[in-house]
Amino acid sequence: MADLIGGIGTSHVPAIGAAIDHGKTGESYWKPLFDGVEPARAWIAEHKPDVCIVVYNDHASQFDLSLIPTFALGMGATFDIHDEGYGPRPVPQVHGDPDFAWHLAESLILDEFDMTLVTDMTVDHGLTVPLSLAYGQPDAWPCKVIPLCVNVIQYPPPTGNRCFQLGRALRRAIDSYDKDIKVAIFGTGGMSHQLQGERAGLTNREYDLQWLDQFVSDPATLLNIGHTEYLRETGSEGIELVMWLIMRGAMNERVRELHRFHHIPVSNTAYGLLVLEND
């Protein structure tokens, strides 16, 4: 049977991808970040998931305002890297797992989560930066990837509770897949950041760290945080944090926190990282 071996929460700041692509990870600005990420790389190198389900948001790349799926699942065998304006990132094409994706789709939809099924899609920094953080610069990604794309761009995004419940349903789907594969799940985005407007550059270390404490030990206390609180406390893009709750919902109620790292600034955002295993 499929086995969910761990959960990784990570921001997906595009500047991190650019630093990797342009060989800047050893520079004084970037070294503290990449040193802090190293234990996550070591964990994934040791445990070698066959498939990573990457919960992320598309940033008006594949989906624009003409089509806004709340939850979309990538069903394809391959996903090309989106050109976000500077040419596609020089990273390997992403390979999917259509058999597993169709199993997840059937299980989730019959479990009353009405996913949008996308058979042909590109992926942007929301998905590729977490892969680069986890794996560096391989010639080919060492795992298959199932993109789970969440709308956090156009109001109204899903609630934290809905995301957590989707994670629970995803776990039921993983647990009922009859192939012996190791699965990891990524929740990406966040942490506190605002890219635009009067409060551009806002970060909130104290709020982020408290949120991470609750996320690990008592996620139920996060499920009713409303969009206004996220906006006020974590800036206009901090709502990306609800995607981490899909990962958390998929994990056991009790988890082991193997690694935590929080770092400001990354570009003009707060970077957060967690590596969790089921207890």
Interaction between residue 110 and ligand DHB (CB under 6 A): no
Number of residues that bind ligand DHB (CB under 6 A): 12
Least distance from ligand DHB to the Cβ atom of residue 114, Å? 26
Least distance from ligand DHB to the Cβ atom of residue 59, Å? 5
Please say which residue, 225 or 266, places its beta carbon nearer to ligand DHB: 266
Interaction between residue 82 and ligand DHB (CB under 6 A): no
Per-residue contact string for residues 17-56; x = within reach of ligand DHB by CB under 6 A: ----------------------------------------
**Could you give the residue numbers annotated as active site?**
125, 193
Least distance from ligand DHB to the Cβ atom of residue 158, Å? 17
d(CA 133, CA 103): 28
Interaction between residue 13 and ligand DHB (CB under 6 A): yes
Please pick, from the candidates 144, 193, 248, 263, the single residue that binds ligand DHB as defined by CB under 6 A: 193
Please pick, from the candidates 195, 196, 220, 279, the single residue that binds ligand DHB as defined by CB under 6 A: 195
Please say which residue, 165 or 269, places its beta carbon nearer to ligand DHB: 269
Please pick, from the candidates 3, 14, 18, 159, the single residue that binds ligand DHB as defined by CB under 6 A: 14
Please give the residues from 219 up to 248 whose contact with ligand DHB meets the rule CB under 6 A: 237, 240
d(CA 261, CA 265): 13
Region near ligand DHB per CB under 6 A, out of 13-21, 31-39, 99-107, 112-120:
13-21
Per-residue contact string for residues 173-192; x = within reach of ligand DHB by CB under 6 A: ----------------x---
Burial state string for 134-163 with b = 16 or more CB within 10 A and e = fewer than 16: bbeeeeebbbbbbbbbbbbbeeebbbbbbb
Per CB under 6 A, residues contacting ligand DHB are 12-15, 59, 189, 193, 195, 237, 240, 267, 269
